[in-house]
Amino acid sequence: MTEAKYAKPSLSIVIPMFNEIENVKPMVARVHEALAGYQGPWELLVVDDGSTDGTPQALHREAQEFGRHVRVVELRRNFGQTAAMQAGIDEARGYLIATLDGDLQNDPNDIPRMVDHLIEHDLDLLTGWRKNRKDDLFLRKIPSRIANRLIGKITGVRINDYGCSLKIYKSSVIKQVRLYGEMHRFIPAWVAAVVPPSRIGEIVVNHNARTAGESKYGISRTFRVVLDLLSVYFFMRYRARPGHFFGSIGLALGSVSSLLLVYLAFVKFFMDEDIGGRPLFLIAIVFLIASLQFLTTGVLSELISRTYFESSQRQQYVIYHPDDELPVGDDDWATPEAPANNPTGDSQGA
């Protein structure tokens, strides 16, 4: 199957779901309504994250009703939203990949508009901004605003809404990023590790109040964001050179320890005063030992880093190929009835 005859690139829509049986039928229906006029091949991948309320059975019923372009990916147990999203991205075949939540708070009608915006501005990632967010002020909105500013300041990627799951990616870019833990909320920062921030955009999208099911998030998420942010900062800055991180701390502690020991030596030999019982002497020794530990850790981390890159055959750099094209597999796609000629040239996948 080739996309040369279509006006729009192939699109994979990835939706992770966990115990959302009440939202299955309306969600699948709304996606089809939103993509009814899409002038290109598209598929819907719904990832069931180990639901226990009958969600996977409901998804399979909808897949049988709508056709083979609706694909259900079942995880054996609940691995979390990040793992479910990564599973969907791995299974996606489209040149573009869209992700959104399965609780119908994200509006699928925004997807065609976001695709047009991404292509028009030649972006690698376009993220939604829930400017008029329909959530609780104190439990959701205020913590989210604080987290967004903190993440933007530390990572250098200025996005108003990191937590919005509605995003459009170029497949060739997002497939170079691996998501672990609960890192889905930091996707723009991870993408910025392989593309310049100028190729990451943001657009205002609709947001609806939850009408069915229960939210899986609480105020505790704010504290997890802070912990995850430390990991993001480390990997963005020092993944390929961890020795610089630990070595810098070791050298700083060693310098302080050296100054303290020089001062104490002056007191001991020139002022003839006892230093054995001074707290400053104990501090200097502790700083010296800590300095040696950090320097040793830096050397070991450099060895681990080199072993990782060599064994996994991953590079420390990413080359930009504007004409990269991705195979779309077989014909299990939803396609427009009257495909248009391709006016966009090399913007399409294979």
108-152 pLDDT tens trace: 999 999 999 999 999 999 999 988 877 665 656 667 777 777 777
- Give the C-alpha distances (Å, rounded to integers) separating 116 from 123, 334, 345: 10, 18, 15
Same domain, 200 and 290: no
Q: What's the pLDDT score for residue 322?
A: 56
- Note whether residue 4 is domain-resident: no
299-330 pLDDT tens trace: 999 888 888 767 766 655 555 555 554 445 55
Same domain, 133 and 268: no
- Note whether residue 15 is domain-resident: yes
Q: What's the pLDDT score for residue 320?
A: 59
- How many angstroms separate the CA atoms of 322 and 123, rounded? 11
Band of pLDDT at residue 222, cut at 50, 70 and 90: low
Same domain, 156 and 64: yes
| Mean pLDDT score, 271-280 | 88
* pLDDT at position 253 over 90: yes
Same domain, 44 and 150: yes
CATH number of residue 210's parent domain: 3.90.550.10
- How many angstroms separate the CA atoms of 206 and 192, rounded? 25
Which of 70, 184, 161, 186 has the alpha carbon at shortest distance from 110? 161
- Note whether residue 252 is domain-resident: yes
Choose the most confident range, by mean pLDDT, from 9-13, 78-82, 277-281.
9-13
Same domain, 277 and 296: yes
> Which amino acid makes up residue 41?
P
H helices present in 78-170, as ranges: 81-91, 110-120, 142-155
Same domain, 206 and 335: yes
Same domain, 222 and 251: no
- How many angstroms separate the CA atoms of 191 and 173, rounded? 7
- Note whether residue 273 is domain-resident: yes
Q: What's the pLDDT score for residue 6?
A: 81
Whether 12 contacts 43, CB under 8 Å: yes
* pLDDT at position 241 over 90: no
Q: How many domains does the chain have?
A: 2
* pLDDT at position 340 over 80: no
Same domain, 202 and 128: yes
Band of pLDDT at residue 292, cut at 50, 70 and 90: very high
Same domain, 170 and 260: no
Same domain, 164 and 295: no
* pLDDT at position 187 over 90: no
Range of the domain at 146: 11-238+318-347
